[in-house]
């Protein structure tokens, strides 16, 4: 039997960011993670820190995302300082390319709406083709314009995961892999996570188990109806520097590979790739930057997003089992700073950040219901 | 730096030598084999440098898997030399770091 102040279930970007934040607050934290056969969004994602365009109609989400991006430089600096790992966070802004006047018009309208909904402090620009060519000289002839925002950036998500693990270790956070939690019980104010014949006990428990939250939440009086949403990605051979900025679908990694994403599809728990989707991603990439057509592809992969019915996160403490929290989202990179610096203090007993009202899991009906059309590509 | 080739053909003298260009210099190599095998026999031990650290690299798996044998062959960057048959007159360059994309 192991005891700690807090058990975090899930050792991905969400769980380790929360655990890192709790470790910084002096808490004794146990992270229970599955093995390498788990579906791991944290090892398949694209790596954008993305703000502009997100959260139309949900200003709490636009603010939550923006504030996390604002705190990202502090997170990157601390991780570098504590672990010597440069996660390659580059927040020089990002572009969203448009291929028709109608698309550019819709983009402009969306951004104006979000800006007004958050109260005006929301820097972005709409660029016509001539203005865009000044910034991105390699765009293809079919690109009619773009939106640009200095709020955005990108990061090496694998280095981020490694840095968070390393920083957790240095803070004394215990991290056990191959420890998939089978069930959780709650008695006398203490939670017990059962892993085979082992028991882990703590007065607080955080569900950050990605797709596993759907099964675990009900055991502690929470509701997290998350479903997998597959994204497929491509990475090319490394080449000399082409882009200083990511677009919503293309970024050059710190080591030179061009990463091309990303699709959205409902494929259940199938994280494989399909030629038709990859071909569509490649076609869009070549239309965006024709020279990409000359590069060799070295790897393709699929990964499963952790998606709620409306696409927004769930952050909630259980009413029937106080001390149990659910923390789940599909933007573990962008929101890593919010999870470390704002969610962790809340779990430690500080007042809830005001944005959290919008993200309760009980906003979803208890019964299964058909998925809504999602408005949640990171760029939109 | 070794001055002698690490590799030699089992049936010495069986294949006619051909001339290719390697990093701007004429080089006589045995024909009828992959570019990687031909250059190794001719004594080339450094094929490329890595994009990240600049460390030297040479062929390893010789079967298309490891991507260590990358060369620029007839103007095509990052070509796997173990998968291309050597031809007379080929213009071959070591692949120095990341390829150009433009």
pLDDT given at position B10? 75
Which helix (H) or strand (E) is A376 found in, with range? Answer: none
CA A167/CA A10 separation, integer angstroms: 16
Going A75 to A77 to A82 to A88, the CA torsion angle's sign is positive
User: How many C-beta atoms surround the C-beta of residue A347 within 10 A?
Assistant: 24
Average pLDDT over residues A139-162: 97
Residue A116 shares a structural domain with residue A184:
no
Quote the minimal CA–CA distance from A270 to chain B in Å: 26
CATH number at residue A352: 3.50.50.60
| Interchain contact, A256 vs B51, CB within 8 Å | yes
Q: Is residue A290 part of a domain?
A: yes
The reply to whether A316 and A272 lie within a common domain is no
Mean pLDDT of all residues belonging to chain B: 91
Among the listed residues A58, A83, A321, the one whose alpha carbon sits nearest the alpha carbon of residue A188: A321
Measured CA to CA, the distance from residue A245 to residue A148 in angstroms comes to 10
Write down which residue in A263, A284, A307 finishes a domain.
A307
Q: What is the pLDDT of residues A84-118, one digit of tens each?
A: 999 999 999 999 999 999 999 999 999 999 999 99
Q: Where do the DSSP E strands lie in chain A?
A: 2-3, 6-9, 29-32, 48-49, 94-98, 125-128, 145-149, 153-154, 174-176, 183-187, 190-195, 198-202, 204-207, 227-238, 250-252, 257-260, 297-307, 314-317, 324-328
Average pLDDT, integer, range A144-153: 98
* Closest by CA position to A241, among listed B18, B100, B19: B100
ipTM value for the complex:
0.78
Q: Confirm or reject contact between A239 and chain B (CB < 8 A).
A: yes
* Contact A350/B at CB under 8 A: no
What is the arithmetic mean of pLDDT over A326-343?
97
A200 in any annotated domain = yes
User: Least CB-CB distance to A237: which of B52, B78, B102?
Assistant: B78
In this structure, are A206 and A339 located in the same domain? Answer: yes
Query: Based on the number of CB atoms within 10 Å of its own CB, is A290 exposed (0-12), middle (13-18) or buried (19 or more)?
Result: middle
**A115 falls within a domain:** yes
CA neighbor of A7 nearest in space, from A149, A229, A179? A179
Q: Is residue A66 part of a domain?
A: no
Q: Which residue of B has its CA nearest to A242?
A: B101
CA distance A133 to chain B (A): 16
B71 and B95 Cβ atoms separated by less than 8 Å: yes
Tokens (6 digits) for A98 = 């448009």
Asked if pLDDT for residue A355 goes beyond 60, the answer is yes
B1 neighbors B45 (Cβ within 8 angstroms)? yes
Three-class DSSP category at A21:
helix
Query: Nearest residue on chain A to B101, judged by CA atoms?
Result: A239
Q: Which residues from B are below 8 Å from A295, CB to CB?
A: 101
Length of chain A: 380
Confidence of residue A366 (pLDDT cuts 50, 70, 90): confident
Domain count for chain A = 3
CA–CA separation, A332 and A328 (whole Å): 8
Q: Under CATH, to which class is B18-96 assigned?
A: alpha beta
* Alpha-carbon gap, residue A78 to A160, rounded angstroms: 12
Give the domain range for residue A281. 227-307
Domain shared by A302 and A172, yes or no: no
Of residues A138, A239, A292, nearest to B99 (C-beta): A239
pTM here is 0.90
pLDDT at A268 over 90: yes
Largest CA distance in chain A: 66
DSSP assignment, residue A227? E
Q: Is B94 on the interface with A (CB under 8 A)?
A: no
Shared domain check, A301 and A337:
no
The answer on pLDDT for A379 being more than 50 is no
Q: Quick one: DSSP state of residue A105?
A: H
Residue B40: name the closest of B25, B54, B53, B22 by CA.
Answer: B22
Of A197, A208, A101, A210, the closest CA to residue A145 belongs to A101
Q: Are residues A337 and A211 in the same domain?
A: yes
Phi first, then psi: give them for residue B88, nearest 5 degrees. -60, 140
Q: Do A291 and B101 touch (CB under 8 A)?
A: yes
Closest partner CB to A242 (pick from B52, B67, B101): B101
Angle CA A354–A358–A364, to nearest 5:
150
Instruction: Identify each DSSP E strand in B1-102 by its residue range.
Output: 17-22, 25-30, 48-49, 56-57, 70-73, 76-80, 91-96
Residue environment code for A140-178, b if the CB has 16+ CB neighbours within 10 A, otherwise e: beebbbbbbbebbbbbbbbbbbbbbbbbbeebebbbeee
pLDDT of B15 reads 73
- Alpha-carbon span A105 to A98, nearest angstrom: 9
Evaluate if residue A367 carries a pLDDT over 90. no
A138 CB within 8 Å of a chain B CB: yes
- Whether residue A79 is predicted with pLDDT greater than 50 in this model: the reply is yes
Assess whether A222 and A325 both reside in one domain: yes
Mean of pLDDT over chain A? 94
Q: Would A118 be classed as within a structural domain?
A: yes
Q: What are B52-84's pLDDT values in tens digits?
A: 899 999 999 999 999 999 999 999 999 999 999
Tokens of A347: 């779990």
Rounded-to-integer distance, Cα B42 and Cα A151, Å: 55
The confidence score (pLDDT) of residue B14 equals 66
Give the number of C-alpha atoms closer than 13 A to the C-alpha of residue B84, restricted to the C-beta side: 22
Give yes or no for residue A368 having a pLDDT over 70: no
CA closest to B79 among chain A residues: A296
Residue with the two structure tokens 């479903």: A227
E strand or H helix at A114, and its extent? helix A101-117
Give the Cβ contact number of residue A299 at 10 Å: 11
CA B26 to chain CA mean position, Å: 13
Contact state of A256 with B98 under an 8 Å Cβ cutoff: yes
Do A336 and A215 lie in one domain? The reply is yes
- Given A255, A294, A298, which is nearest B101 (Cβ)? A294
Using the Cβ of B55 and the Cβ atoms of chain A, whether some distance falls under 8 Å is answered with no
pLDDT at residue B100 tops 80: yes
Q: What is the average pLDDT across B31-53? A: 94
What are the structural domain ranges in chain B?
Answer: 18-96
Minimum-distance CB partner of B101 among A240, A255, A298:
A240
């Amino acid at each position: 039997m192991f005891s700690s102040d807090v058990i975090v279930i899930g050792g991905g970007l969400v769980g380790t960011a929360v655990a890192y934040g709790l470790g910084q607050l002096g808490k004794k934290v146990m992270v229970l993670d599955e093995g390498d056969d788990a579906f791991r969004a944290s090892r398949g994602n694209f790596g954008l820190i993305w703000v502009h365009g997100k959260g139309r109609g949900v200003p709490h989400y636009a603010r939550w995302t923006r504030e996390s991006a604002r705190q990202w430089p502090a997170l990157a600096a601390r991780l570098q300082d504590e672990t010597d790992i440069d996660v390659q966070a580059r927040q020089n802004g990002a572009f969203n390319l448009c291929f028709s006047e109608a698309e550019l018009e819709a983009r402009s309208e969306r951004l104006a709406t979000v800006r007004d909904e958050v109260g005006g402090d929301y820097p972005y620009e709409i660029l016509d083709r001539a203005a865009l060519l000044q910034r991105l000289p390699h765009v293809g002839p079919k690109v009619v314009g773009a939106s640009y925002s200095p709020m955005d950036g990108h990061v090496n998500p694998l280095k981020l995961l490694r840095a968070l693990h390393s920083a957790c270790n240095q803070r004394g956070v215990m991290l056990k892999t191959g420890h998939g939690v089978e069930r959780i019980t709650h008695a006398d104010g203490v939670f017990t996570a059962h892993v085979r014949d082992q028991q882990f006990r703590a007065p607080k428990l955080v569900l950050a188990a990605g797709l596993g939250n759907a099964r675990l939440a009900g055991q502690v009086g929470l509701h997290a109806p998350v479903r997998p949403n597959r994204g497929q990605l491509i990475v090319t051979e490394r080449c000399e520097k082409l882009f200083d900025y990511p677009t919503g679908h293309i970024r050059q990694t710190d080591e030179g590979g061009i990463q091309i994403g990303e699709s959205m599809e409902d494929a259940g728990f199938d994280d494989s790739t399909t030629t038709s989707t990859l071909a569509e991603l490649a076609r869009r990439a070549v239309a965006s930057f024709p020279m990409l057509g000359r590069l060799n592809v070295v790897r393709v992969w699929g990964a499963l997003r952790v998606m709620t019915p409306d696409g927004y996160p769930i952050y909630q403490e259980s009413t029937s089992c106080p001390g149990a929290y659910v923390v789940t989202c599909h933007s573990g990179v962008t929101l890593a700073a919010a999870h470390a610096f704002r969610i962790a203090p809340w779990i430690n007993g500080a007042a809830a950040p005001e944005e959290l009202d919008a993200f309760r899991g009980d906003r979803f009906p208890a019964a299964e219901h058909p998925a809504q059309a999602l408005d949640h590509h990171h760029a939109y | 730096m070794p001055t002698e080739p690490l590799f030699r053909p089992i049936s010495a003298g069986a294949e006619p030598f051909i001339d290719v260009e390697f990093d701007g210099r004429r080089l006589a190599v045995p024909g009828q084999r992959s570019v990687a095998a031909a250059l190794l026999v001719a004594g080339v031990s450094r094929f490329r440098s890595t994009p990240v650290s600049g460390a030297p690299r040479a062929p390893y798996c010789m079967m298309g898997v490891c991507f260590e044998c990358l060369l620029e062959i007839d103007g095509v960057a990052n070509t796997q030399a173990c998968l291309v048959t050597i031809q007379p007159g080929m213009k071959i360059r070591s692949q120095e770091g990341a390829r150009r994309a433009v």
